[in-house]
Amino acid sequence: MRLLLIINLAGKLAAVFLFQSNLSTALSLWFGPDLLLAYHFFAPRAQGLVRMHRRFATMQREVWLTIDDGPDADDTPKILQLLAAHEASATFFVIGEKAAAHPELINAIVAAGHEVAHHTHTHPLATFWCASPARVAWELDAALNTLHRAGVRPTRFRPPAGIKNLWLAAALRSRGLTGVGWSARGMELWSSDAEKVAARVLRGLAPGAILLLHEGPAVPDAIRLHAIRRVLERLRESGYRCIIPRTSQLAN
């Protein structure tokens, strides 16, 4: 992160010195570092601001199924049934305010042997990238307090849509949270075909993949739950197991 900020500041200073003598170069130096910084804010695969693990090490045919944006009163119980039917384990990256509204679902996830992880308290998709240190701390701590009351102490964190923040790395480190991204996602929030979502998630399937799917009313009805079911079916057909990896297995 420091290197990115130094590059940005150096570009601005150089642009000021060159403004009168070489306008085009000055504009490039002024805006170029901003584009680089924006990439590291918004690109899920970018690692410059916060390390987000996108794979895990394994020699077996294993993947990590992660489900964002719950818990949901309609979807979560049905997802738990699907996971049980396929003998699959998963990590639920939950939103704190939803967990506060449905603590019984957090208990059900844990009781079924799955992992509950952190997905901010309010899922501030539009503003997380520019949130102040105080707001970042609140998003983390409010959800942590909610989950602690439910008897859960999460160790994994995923920001909304993988968006980073200048203050996030230090905030995660001080709270013992590890950033987790993904290697494949279904993009089901913008789709209407469960089969296409499953194909997108499983394209290039390989051991150690981290798969991202969603639950809740934001998912179109035509694929809500159906995409998760189809992914589980195709994984089983391909001889893959869904596991929850140890932190020591995580890799970029």
Active site residues: 68, 214
Contacts 24+ apart (CB under 8 A), 28-33: 33/4, 33/7, 33/8
Supply 38's token pair.
């924006």
Please give the angle made by the CA atoms of 120, 121 and 124, to the nearest 5 degrees: 70
Helix (H, G, I), strand (E, B) or coil at 78: helix
For residue 64, the SS3 value is: strand
Choose among 189, 187, 168: nearest CA to 178: 168
Q: Is 18 exposed, middle or buried (0-12, 13-18, 19+ CB in 10 A)?
A: middle
